Amino acid sequence: MNLDSHLLDVIVCPACRQSLAVDEAAEELVCVGCGLAYPVRDDIPVLLVDEARKPQ
């Protein structure tokens, strides 16, 4: 996964507005607030709540 660090500084979770952490192994961005995990496809974050994986 190749995401620009500047991009990670400005994007937030669309559900709760908290910051996102990179999970390289799962190729996801995980919200530090609510725990939703957003997929990254072709190095593009898919920040749609309907596409997010819910925390277990």
Give residue 55's pLDDT: 87
What mean pLDDT comes out for the span 10-26?
96
> Given CA atoms 14, 16, 22, 24 in this order, what sign does their dihedral have?
negative
| Predicted structure pTM score | 0.91
Q: What are phi and psi for residue 16, nearest 5 degrees? A: -130, -5
State the burial class of residue 42 (Cβ atoms within 10 Å of its Cβ: 0-12, 13-18, 19+).
Answer: exposed
pLDDT band at 48 (very low <50, low <70, confident <90, very high): very high
